[in-house]
Structure 1
Amino acid sequence: MSRVVTFGEIMMRLATPGFARFQQAMPGSVNVTFAGAEASIAASLAYLGADAAFVTALPDHAIADACIADLRSIGVETKHILRTTEGRLGIYFLEHGANQRGGNVIYDREGAAVALTPAAAYDWTAIFTGCEWFVISGITPAISRNAAEVALFAVQEAERRGIKVVCDMNYRTKLWRWEPSLSARDLATRTMKDLLRHVTVFVGGISDAIAMLGVDGAGDLHTVAKQITAQFPNLTHAAFTQRDGSSAAVQNFSGALYEKATDVLHTAPTFSITQIIDRLGAGDAFTAGLLFSILQGSSPAETIAFATAAGCLAHSIEGDFNYSTRAEIEALMQGDGGGRVSR
């Protein structure tokens, strides 16, 4: 199978137990895992059996060692992760939502190693050897000016080498603070438009795509997808997650994939999720499922169905990584969503 490389920040995730609020849980115990969009995508791909590598910069200490060991335990290649004496391991704190109370994330990632490490420090020739697909998200360029420059350099280098690029928009309102003269939204729009010129497959939520890319959201999704792919000629596909719900615990989740060559929008069935264990990482699972299915040579209709089922199952798993097998995803695609015990 073709090699996939993802690049971005990985952090330590500190989540309050159950549905406790920060003030209830601290001082006390929290649940520690590792998380980050591109790392989550690599983890999901590797768990599905793909040849996936993750690239980042991490400080040279024991906690970063544990982070790398966690990725390796899933099958992610980590040999091109840089170890640095400058910078730190970022952290984010998570309070799960419940009923009508939404979840809350607090970031503590200023000065992370990957935010400080320049593009020249990475061995891109070695990183891209044997690579067919490169994955980046809108989170990495949001954390610092340097990280944005590295992300742009990386996608340009991938394009120069004939490597296809996937970008998950992943807009985060609490980030994008590195140019104070611009609002977070304006900075994100300017930066991501430059990056998307080198991207093959766009992935994103509909509202963020409309707001950030300056497309007319008055039309249907087919029209929106056509506008996005027309704006960025390198794009061959645009994929969207679709979500709505009445509370933090009840959500409807679906997806759509637009194929530019045929001008066809393929949609997946909507899953009604009534018991969400953890919704963070569901979009990453969707992106990983999309790319994994593309690697299998699946049709667009099969690809969006697989991606959507992967994203659905991720809601049932604690942590950002999607520990769902290919067989489980395919069973859900075929209608086996009753939650029966496997005996």
Structure 2
Amino acid sequence: MGKIVTFGEIMLRLAPVGFERFAQAREFGVVYGGGEANVAVSLANYNKEAYFVTKLPKNEIGQCAVNELRKYGVNTNLIVRGGDRVGIYYCEKGASQRPSKVIYDRSHSSIAEAKREDFNWKEIFNGAEWFHFTGITPALSDECAAITLEAVKAAKEAGVTISVDLNYRKKLWSTEKAGKVMGEIVKYCDVVIANEEDAEKVFGIKADETDITGGHLSDEGYKNVAKQLVERFDLKYTAITLRESISASDNGWSAMLYDGKDFFKSRRYDMHIVDRVGGGDSFGAGLIYGLTSGYSNQAALEFAVAASCLKHTIEGDFNLVSIEEVETLAKGDASGRVQR
């Protein structure tokens, strides 16, 4: 079993207690998280050899982030130390018809100011079987975009399978720049993961007969999106998560997978949300786990959706569930009965 490498930013998350608004808060809870770090933690929980690559300051706060990853079994030996700060984000959890809000304070973080010479990708990918990153990482800076491009080229040369979660963030860059930068990077990828909006925001590929804010998603429309992505970038797989936003507290959740020949659709879950941050990352990790563990395409998809459904019940960015818990849900036991 080869190592799985993820690359991106881990941040300090500060959140008001419970469902308080920022204006009410007199204290903030502290957790750490970030797209690729979240994936690494999930994979480590599934007994995969998960490595997280980033750059963090050589101070106590940077060490706290490293310690948090180590706590859950992620290998941090490839993390570069240097720079001045850990990025921060503030998260106000929504409820019912009030949406969640995120405020970033991540400018000039160590990873955002990283340089290409910080990372020896040939060494990093030695013994690796999979490389995962998100569209957030190249959005951090022009240099991060260049670093990511170097990474995917090196991974491709090393014969490593490459996955990307498009993860478009409008607060980080425009749709025009995202399309230009990601269009070049995704050429080297094997697997693209997207949600119901990403393909449109990044590549202008829109699902027909779909109203995201109204909660109506067309399976046929997203099949066409997946097909266009596979054909444009010569991908092995495209996976699309489908979130039906009934309210901030209740969502419908499912996904589809396309392998260039056949479409696979998961079962649908009705979720009552505790914390939705990291939901997409837990899906990506579940899919990577399934595809690297010999699961059929349908089984890998069901595992990923079930894992992500469970993440929505857990506070913080990380999906702290076991293989057995995910498989129990994927097999149909959604009762939530007390286990004694």
Shift of 1:160: 1.3
Cα pair 2:246 2:252 within 8 Å, conserved: no
Shift of 1:227: 0.8
Paired residues, what number? 329
Counterpart amino acid of residue 4 in structure 1: I
Distance (whole Å) between structure 1 residues aligned to residue 44 and residue 245 of structure 2: 30
Confirm or deny that 1:194 pairs with 2:195: no
Counterpart in 2 of 1:206?
196
Shift of 1:194: 0.8
Q: What RMSD, in angstroms, separates the aligned Cα atoms of the two structures?
A: 1.0
TM-score, normalization by structure 2: 0.95
Choose from 170, 173, 176 the match for 1:173. Answer: 170
Choose from 297, 306, 309 the match for 1:309. Answer: 306
Task: Describe the SS at the equivalent of 2:69.
Answer: helix
Counterpart amino acid of residue 223 in structure 1: N
Shift of 1:216: 5.0
Distance (whole Å) between structure 1 residues aligned to residue 156 and residue 319 of structure 2: 29
Distance (whole Å) between structure 1 residues aligned to residue 198 and residue 206 of structure 2: 12
Choose from 322, 332, 335 the match for 1:335. Answer: 332
Distance (whole Å) between structure 2 residues aligned to residue 148 and residue 16 of structure 1: 33
Distance (whole Å) between structure 1 residues aligned to residue 81 and residue 201 of structure 2: 37
Counterpart amino acid of residue 209 in structure 1: A
Distance (whole Å) between structure 1 residues aligned to residue 232 and residue 329 of structure 2: 35
Distance (whole Å) between structure 1 residues aligned to residue 169 and residue 100 of structure 2: 14
Counterpart in 2 of 1:254?
254
Counterpart amino acid of residue 114 in structure 1: I
Counterpart amino acid of residue 21 in structure 1: R
Shift of 1:338: 0.9
Q: For residues 107-159 of structure 1, what are the alpha-carbon distances to aligned partners after superposition, in whole Å with 9 as ceiling and x for unaligned?
A: 00000111111121112222111101000100011111111111111111111
Confirm or deny that 1:4 pairs with 2:4: yes
Q: Which runs of 5+ in 2 are unaligned?
A: 209-219
Which runs of structure 2 are paired with 1:141-290 in the superposition (5 Å)?
A: 141-176=138-173, 184-215=174-205, 217-218=207-208, 220-233=221-234, 235-260=235-260, 263-273=261-271, 275-290=272-287
Distance (whole Å) between structure 2 residues aligned to residue 217 and residue 211 of structure 1: 11
Task: Describe the SS at the equivalent of 1:116.
Answer: coil
Distance (whole Å) between structure 2 residues aligned to residue 67 and residue 217 of structure 1: 38
Counterpart in 2 of 1:181?
none
Q: For residues 196-238 of structure 1, what are the alpha-carbon distances to aligned partners after superposition, in whole Å with 9 as ceiling and x for unaligned?
A: 10000000113221332133533622222111111102x1000
Percent identical pairs in the alignment equals 41
Cα pair 1:165 1:201 within 8 Å, conserved: yes
Distance (whole Å) between structure 1 residues aligned to residue 229 and residue 52 of structure 2: 28
Distance (whole Å) between structure 2 residues aligned to residue 223 and residue 105 of structure 1: 31
Cα pair 1:87 1:114 within 8 Å, conserved: no
Distance (whole Å) between structure 1 residues aligned to residue 295 and residue 92 of structure 2: 38
Distance (whole Å) between structure 2 residues aligned to residue 125 and residue 195 of structure 1: 18
Distance (whole Å) between structure 2 residues aligned to residue 16 and residue 292 of structure 1: 33
Choose from 108, 111, 130 the match for 1:114. Answer: 111
Q: Which runs of 4+ in 1 moved over 6 A?
A: none
Counterpart amino acid of residue 22 in structure 1: F
Distance (whole Å) between structure 1 residues aligned to residue 76 and residue 29 of structure 2: 24
Choose from 73, 76, 79 the match for 1:78. Answer: 76
Counterpart in 1 of 2:62?
64
Shift of 1:191: 0.9
Cα pair 2:43 2:285 within 8 Å, conserved: yes
Q: For residues 288-308 of structure 1, what are the alpha-carbon distances to aligned partners after superposition, in whole Å with 9 as ceiling and x for unaligned?
A: 000000111110000110000
Q: Which runs of 5+ in 1 are unaligned?
A: 177-183
Q: For residues 22-58 of structure 1, what are the alpha-carbon distances to aligned partners after superposition, in whole Å with 9 as ceiling and x for unaligned?
A: 0100xx2111000100000000100111110000000
Counterpart amino acid of residue 258 in structure 1: Y
Confirm or deny that 1:131 pairs with 2:128: yes
